[in-house]
Structure 1
Amino acid sequence: MKKDKNCVNLNESASVEQCTSVPAATPVAPAGERLIKVPVDLGAFTVTSHLVANISFPDPVLEIKDIKKRVIITQCRLMTRTSTGDDDQFAAGPFPLFLKGYVRKNIQYASPCPHSTEGCISSTIKSLTLKVPFECMTTVTLDSPAQLPVSNTRSEFDFFRAQDLGPGYPEKDQFLSSDISQFHQTSTQAYNELPFCELISSEIIEWDEATDRQSFGEGPVDEGYFHHMVEKMTINFTVKVLQNQQVRVDAQ
C-alpha cells in the first residue's frame, strides 16, 4: 500500500467564482484630498554610549599610523504598546528604543622587523580590523505619534450536546455539556506597520593607550613596541525613527 506523504487532505472542488468582495472600512477622503501611504518622521534622536575594549595585536606595534572607524547599527527597534480601541490608535510615548551595533575599526600600524635595534629600526605596515560591539536602551518621546499595533484576537465557542451515559446509569439521565471532540474558534490577525530607523550621523571620540610597552633601550624615551592596548570610546550617533502611515494630502 502506497503511503500518502501529505499530512493534509485538500478538497479541490471549490472554484474561484465562489469568492466575494466588499469595500474595506478605510477612511474616505473628501473632494480635493487624497490618502497616501508614506514614511512619517516620528522623531530624530542623538544617542550617546560609552565603550571600553582591550585590543591585542598579532604582531608587535611600533606605532599607530592611522585608525579608520565607523558606527554600524544592526538593530534599532521602537517598542510601543498595543492599541486599546478606536479612540486609542496613535501615541507619542514615552517608548523604549532598543539599539544594538558595533564600531568597525581598521588600525594601520608599523610593526618592527626582527633584529631591530634602538639605532636602526626597520618596520612593515600592517593592519588589524576589529569590531567593538555595543547594546543599549533609551527612552524616547516622539515628535509625531506612532500608529499603535492592533492585537490579534482569538476566542473559542462551543455547542451544547446531550449524550446518553451508557450502561450503569438511568436511561433518563444524560451527559449534558459540550463535546470535547470538537473545537470551534474565531480569530483575527492584524498586520501592523513596524517602525524602522535610519542612521543620520555619528561621532566617535577615542583614547588608545598601550598597556605593555617595552623599550629597545633602557630609558623611557627609547623606541619600543607593544602588543596590547586599552581603548575608551564615546560614540554619539543620530537615528531617525519612521513609520509608514496613511496621510491626508491636498490633491491640487
Structure 2
Amino acid sequence: MSNKEHHHHNCVDLNTSASIEQCMNEGTDTPVTPAGTRLVRIPVNLGDFNVTTNMVANIKFPYPVSEIKDIKKRVVILQCRLMTRTSTGGDDQFASGPFPLFIKGYVRKNIQYATPCYNKAGKCVSSKLKSLTVKVPFECMTSVLLESPVQLPVTNTRSEFDFFRSQDLGKGYPEKDQFLSSDISQFHQTSTAAYNALPYCELLSHEIIEWDEATDRQSYHYDYDHSPVEEGHFHHVVEKMMVTFTVSVLQEQQVRITAG
C-alpha cells in the first residue's frame, strides 16, 4: 500500500514521536505511615432487605394431568438496580435514602405430574410421569432506607469557552468597521468524567407460598364398580404465589482501616 493510500485509510493524521515525556503526579490523599491507617477498597454492605411480591399465572399442560407429584422452584433475579440521586459536591458525597430499588426476575418451576394411560377398552388403569418447566416473571419496585450510606455518583461536566476575534470586513464595508465576535472555526472545551462505583445485589434466600388449582378438571365415568368416581384429569391450572426473597445491596467503597 502506498503512502497516499495509507493516508486515505486513516481518519486522523497523528504526528508520532519516539520520545517519552515524563508524567507529573500528585497524590489525592495524605500518605500514611506503616503503623497508621490504610485506605482499602472493599465491598460495603449497604443493607439486607426482604422483598415480597405476589403473582398470578395460568399454566397449560401439554398432556392431561391426573395428579401433580412435585414442584421444584428456583428464584432467578435478572436485574437489581439501586437508583440514587447524584452528588452536588462538597460534603454531599454519601446518603442513606430512601432510594428506589428496581427488581426484575422470574420463578423457574419444574412441575412433575402423572398423565393417565388407557387400555384398549378406554379405561384409565395406569399413568406415566412427565414434567413441565415454566418461568413465571415478576417485576417490582420497592423503596429502601440504607443501613450504610451509599456513595453518590458524581456527574460529568462539559464547558465551552471562546476567544475574542476582530477582523476586517473587507470590500463593501467602511474601513473603520470590523467583525467583532468569536471564531466559529475553532472549538474549545474543558470536560470532566467521574468513574463511579455502581451498587449491586446478591440473592441470599427465598420463600415461596403457592396455591395451584385446576380450572377444567373432568371426572372419569366408568361402567364398572372398581374405579373411584373422583378420578379425573385437567389441562389448566391457576397459580397464586407469594414470593419473599432476601437481597443484599453492596457497593465497593474506599474504607479506612487501622493497620496492626
Shorter-chain TM band: over 0.9
Partner residue in 2 for 1:25? 28
Q: Give the direction of change, closer, same or farther, for the CA distance of 1:135–1:150 in structure 2 (3 Å limit).
A: same
Q: Does 1:102 align with 2:102?
A: no
Partner residue in 1 for 2:76? 72
2-structure distance, mates of 1:77, 1:120: 52
Q: 1:93 aligns with which of 87, 91, 97?
A: 97
> Cα RMSD between the aligned structures?
2.1
What stretches of structure 1 move > 6 A for 4+ residues in a row? none
SS of 2:97's partner is coil
Percent of aligned pairs sharing the same letter:
69
Q: Is the 8 A contact 1:29 1:248 kept in 2?
A: no
Q: 1:244 aligns with which of 225, 228, 252?
A: 252
Query: What is the aligned residue count?
Result: 251
Q: Give the direction of change, closer, same or farther, for the CA distance of 1:27–1:200 in structure 2 (3 Å limit).
A: farther
Q: Give the direction of change, closer, same or farther, for the CA distance of 1:160–1:115 in structure 2 (3 Å limit).
A: farther
Q: Is the 8 A contact 2:118 2:125 kept in 1?
A: no
Q: 2:66 aligns with which of 62, 67, 85?
A: 62
* TM-score normalised per structure 1: 0.93
Residues 99-248 of structure 1 aligned to structure 2 (within 5 Å): 99-115=103-119, 120-217=124-221, 221-248=229-256
Q: What letter corresponds to residue 29 of structure 2 in structure 1?
A: T
2-structure distance, mates of 1:28, 1:118: 87
Q: Is the 8 A contact 1:42 1:240 kept in 2?
A: yes
1:111-137: CA deviation from partner (whole Å, max 9, x where unpaired): 112458786432111111111110111
Q: CA deviation at 1:138?
A: 0.5
Q: CA deviation at 1:7?
A: 1.9
Q: Is the 8 A contact 1:117 1:216 kept in 2?
A: no
Partner residue in 2 for 1:34? 38
- Give the stretch that moved more between structures: 185-194 or 28-37: 28-37
Q: What letter corresponds to residue 75 of structure 1 in structure 2?
A: Q
Q: What letter corresponds to residue 138 of structure 1 in structure 2?
A: T
1-structure distance, mates of 2:31, 2:120: 80
Q: Is the 8 A contact 1:118 1:222 kept in 2?
A: no
Q: Give the direction of change, closer, same or farther, for the CA distance of 1:44–1:120 in structure 2 (3 Å limit).
A: same
Residues 6-25 of structure 1 aligned to structure 2 (within 5 Å): 6-13=10-17, 15=19, 17-25=20-28
